[in-house]
């Protein structure tokens, strides 16, 4: 059985394998470039796209092989928010000609309900430099999502969840109702995958920006554009989270906590000293989210969006829980490394 056939068998309940030849050339070319890069970065894990318009990504193992399936809906929704972001003349005015930009009200209204089918409307920025910048930001967000999923596999979260929750795959969104304890376990694994995925994606992104024509975002530089992409990904994931997955029942750390952690991951490894002191006001997407009333808890709780103590306590909780799980996870990881040394 080929990798593609095993992928289809393993992930059939999530949708059919996306047939890239059936999509417009520009879209299919971008998808192929992503797959080529992912398979080069981790040839031992087979990645492909699923023809599903929901927002999700799945890591699983089947027939002694490991797979990452990314819903096309995740790719398209991240792109739509990235286009909307760079169509806003108040956002990143140092990129391109903002006087050309405006956002159609119908587009904002559609993005307030991201799980519904997207209506027609102009999503693309009008200035060509800002359009390329939006595409670069979206591409980096896709990369962060991929390396996050890869982290779930390489850090042995699949086997840990199989033995502790009885599940056979790691699905980013849409778990059935969980206890508070199970939700904390998942938040901890998400924090762990973030640490791996953020650092790897930052290294790759710096290389991309140095070796490819990413001049559209040169005014930001690799660290700030990477951080902007991380924000975009984490906030979009927050937009599509079920409303009953909040606070103690959340399966992911809050976007605020994930972004504080992103700064810590980056600065602790000496990559982005300019992010250490919190960056500039332009680095935050919160004003854009608030202005457009996108479906985030930040908007729901506009009177009290949370503070450093709330975020700090959230991170302390998952870090403390990780310490209780660390020995068990490391045992799985040692066994995986031993197995891979033989198999690969």
pLDDT on residue 332: 93
Contact 263, 275 (CB under 8 A): yes
Angle between helices 308-343 and 157-165 (to 10 degrees): 100
Instruction: Note the pLDDT of residue 270.
Output: 65
Q: CA-CA distance, 84 to 81, in Å (whole number)?
A: 5
Helices then strands, counting H and E runs in the chain, come out as 12, 5
Pairwise CA distance, residues 246 & 161, whole Å: 21
pLDDT in single tens digits along all 344 residues of the chain: 899 999 999 999 999 999 999 999 989 999 999 999 999 999 999 999 999 999 999 999 998 899 999 999 999 999 999 999 999 999 999 999 999 999 889 999 999 999 888 777 788 999 999 999 999 999 999 999 999 999 999 999 999 999 988 888 999 887 666 789 999 999 999 999 999 999 999 999 999 998 888 999 999 989 889 999 999 999 999 999 877 777 788 899 999 999 989 988 888 776 665 554 545 555 789 999 999 999 987 766 654 545 558 888 999 999 999 999 999 999 999 988 887 754 43
* pLDDT at residue number 282: 59
Nearest-angstrom CA–CA distance, 223 and 56: 26
Q: What CA–CA distance (Å, rounded) separates 49 from 38?
A: 12
List the one residue out of 274, 258, 219, 271 whose CA is nearest residue 86: 219
Long-range CB pairs of 108-113 (<8 Å, 24+ gap) are 108/84, 108/292, 111/80, 111/81, 111/84, 111/292, 111/294, 112/292, 112/293, 112/294, 112/295, 113/295
Query: CA 305, CA 307: separation in Å to the nearest integer?
Result: 7
Q: Tell me how crowded residue 256 is: count the other CB atoms within 10 A of its CB.
A: 22
Q: What is the pLDDT of residue 227?
A: 93
Radius of gyration of the chain (CA): 19
Instruction: Give the Cα separation of 176 and 297 in Å (integer).
Output: 20
Specify the pLDDT at position 303. 43
Question: In the chain, at which residue ranges do the beta strands (DSSP E only) sit?
Answer: 16-17, 45-51, 57-62, 65-71, 169-171
**β-pair partners for 67:** 46, 60
Tell me whether strands 57-62 and 65-71 are parallel, antiparallel or unpaired.
antiparallel
Residue-level pLDDT at 276: 46
The whole-number pLDDT of residue 342 equals 46
- State the pairing for strand pair 169-171/57-62: antiparallel
């Amino acid at each position: 059985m080929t990798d593609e056939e095993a992928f289809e068998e393993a992930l059939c309940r999530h949708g059919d394998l996306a047939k890239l030849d059936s999509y417009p050339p520009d879209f299919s070319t971008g998808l192929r470039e992503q797959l080529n890069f992912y398979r080069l970065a981790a040839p031992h894990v087979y990645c492909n796209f699923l023809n599903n318009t929901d927002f999700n990504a799945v890591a699983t193992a089947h027939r002694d092989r490991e797979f990452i399936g990314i819903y096309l809906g995740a790719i398209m929704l991240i792109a739509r928010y990235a286009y909307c972001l760079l169509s806003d003349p108040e956002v990143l005015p140092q990129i391109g000609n903002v006087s050309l930009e405006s956002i159609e009200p119908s587009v904002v209204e559609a993005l307030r309900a991201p799980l519904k089918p997207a209506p027609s409307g102009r999503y693309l920025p009008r200035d060509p430099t800002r359009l390329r910048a939006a595409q670069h930001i979206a591409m980096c967000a896709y990369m962060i999502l991929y390396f996050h999923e890869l982290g779930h596999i390489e850090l042995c979260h699949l086997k840990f969840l199989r033995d502790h929750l009885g599940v056979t795959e790691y699905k980013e969104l849409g778990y059935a109702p969980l206890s508070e304890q199970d939700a904390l376990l998942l938040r901890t694994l998400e924090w762990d995958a973030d640490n791996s995925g953020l650092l790897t994606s930052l290294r790759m992104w710096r290389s991309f920006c140095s070796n490819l024509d990413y001049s559209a975002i040169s005014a930001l530089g690799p660290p700030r554009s990477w951080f902007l992409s991380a924000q975009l990904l984490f906030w979009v994931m927050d937009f599509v989270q079920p409303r009953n997955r909040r606070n103690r029942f959340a399966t992911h750390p809050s976007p605020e906590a994930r972004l504080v952690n992103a700064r810590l991951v980056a600065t602790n490894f000496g990559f982005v000293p300019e992010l250490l002191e919190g960056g500039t006001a332009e680095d935050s997407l919160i004003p854009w989210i608030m202005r457009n009333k996108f479906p985030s808890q930040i908007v729901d709780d506009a009177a009290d969006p949370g503070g450093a103590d709330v975020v700090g306590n959230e991170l302390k909780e998952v870090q403390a829980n990780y310490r209780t799980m660390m020995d068990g996870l490391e045992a799985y990881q040692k066994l995986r490394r031993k197995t891979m040394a033989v198999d690969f």
